[in-house]
Structure 1
Amino acid sequence: MSDWIALLRGVNVGGVTVKSAELRETFAGLGFTGVRTVLASGNVAFESDRADAAALKRDIERALSDRFGYEAWIVLITPSRLRAIVAAFPFDATDASRQPYVVFASEPSVVDELMTAAGEPDPHADPLERGDGVVYWNPVKGTTVDTGFAKVLARPAFKPTTTNRNLRTLEKLL
């Protein structure tokens, strides 16, 4: 058995409602065990005897689309990879005045595009750093929709290819 974590993009926002119980049922219906949801923002930890990540991702996305009626996109990651991403967070995650975020992308090229589009953000107001397949972002609380990078993330081109999580949520998943 392999442990996996699925991070769903765009659920419980913008009219796409996915209840945790139904989400667990959907994953269990795919034959996964140990299914556990964390918070109501599309985070699922589970076990599978299947090792082909691409096939798992495709099957999960299809099942989510069929069950909940939206174009599903997920990040599928192992707990060890997620641990490495969390451990590499380059900012002070204990700073209560900040929102420690990790932005996941569908492909490494999307991370490149995000960093290029961000340009030279203000390192105090909108600190960014490229990680291994992610962008680390640590904006001041209350500004997460107003900063330059927030506006980049809100662009239609990035909505279907990115999802972000607060570092604290990722820690709960682990």
Structure 2
Amino acid sequence: MTRYVALLRGITPSLPNMANDKLRGVFEGLGYEDVGSVLASGNIVFRTEETDGPALEERIQQALNDELGIAGGTIIRSHAELRALLDADPFPGLTHGRGTYLTATFLKDGALKDGASPEQSPEQPDPRTRIVGDPAARVFLAVIDNRTPGTTPDFMGWLDRTYGKDITTRTWLTVQRIVKKMEA
């Protein structure tokens, strides 16, 4: 069996249909095993014999929409993909915190337009943001410098405008917590 995480877009934990117990119930209803949640922001870990990531994404998203009215997006990553991402140490010497915000933006297959790919760093939206890609994990990794006085870079808005809705972002700490839960 393969261990996966479903990274759900647009989850608002204060809404009753988006509570972790309801989300886990949908996954259990689909027959997935060892279903668990990480934080309250739409990170559901599970095991299945299925290996077709896009088919899993479609099946889960359809069930979330049918059963809970959640029309957001679902992006699947295997434990092996996330473990390799962590082992690559993409933020050497940096610690996620208030001044240096570390994020991972996961892309659904087909989210990139015009032949772009995660190994090609996108145009930098703000000099306080440094972005690198990891093609194996289909992810953009960003270091957002919040230490500079002034407004915080509108990185999330830029991502949505540039790549559409087939993406979802997690802090680096959340990615680490997801992998820890997958290994438990």
Residue correspondences, number: 170
Could you tell me which residue of structure 2 aligns to residue 107 of structure 1? 109
Cα contact 2:5–2:77 (8 A) shared by 1: yes
SS at match of 2:158: helix
Q: Percent identity?
A: 26
Measure, in 1, the Cα distance between the counterparts of 2:37 and 2:121.
Answer: 34
Measure, in 1, the Cα distance between the counterparts of 2:96 and 2:26.
Answer: 37
Could you tell me which residue of structure 2 aligns to residue 152 of structure 1? 158
Render the CA deviation track for 1:41-91: whole Å, top value 9, x for unaligned: 100110112223232221101001112213232111110101112233432
Cα contact 1:126–1:148 (8 A) shared by 2: no
Cα contact 2:111–2:163 (8 A) shared by 1: no
Measure, in 1, the Cα distance between the counterparts of 2:146 and 2:121.
Answer: 24
Could you tell me which residue of structure 2 aligns to residue 129 of structure 1? 132
Could you tell me which residue of structure 2 aligns to residue 66 of structure 1? 66
Indicate yes or no: 2:130 matched with 1:140. Answer: no
TM-score, length basis structure 1: 0.82
CA-atom RMSD, angstroms?
A: 3.0
Cα contact 1:89–1:136 (8 A) shared by 2: no
- The residue identity in structure 1 corresponding to 2:34 is G
Measure, in 1, the Cα distance between the counterparts of 2:30 and 2:178.
Answer: 20
1:117: how far off? 5.9
TM-score, length basis structure 2: 0.78
Write the mapping of 1:7-26 to structure 2, written as runs, cut at 5 A. Answer: 7-12=7-12, 18-26=18-26
- The residue identity in structure 1 corresponding to 2:102 is P
Measure, in 2, the Cα distance between the counterparts of 1:160 and 1:120.
Answer: 18
Q: Which runs of 5+ in 2 are unaligned?
A: 180-184
Render the CA deviation track for 1:91-125: whole Å, top value 9, x for unaligned: 23425321110011113652838867634742xx2
Q: Which runs of 5+ in 1 are unaligned?
A: none
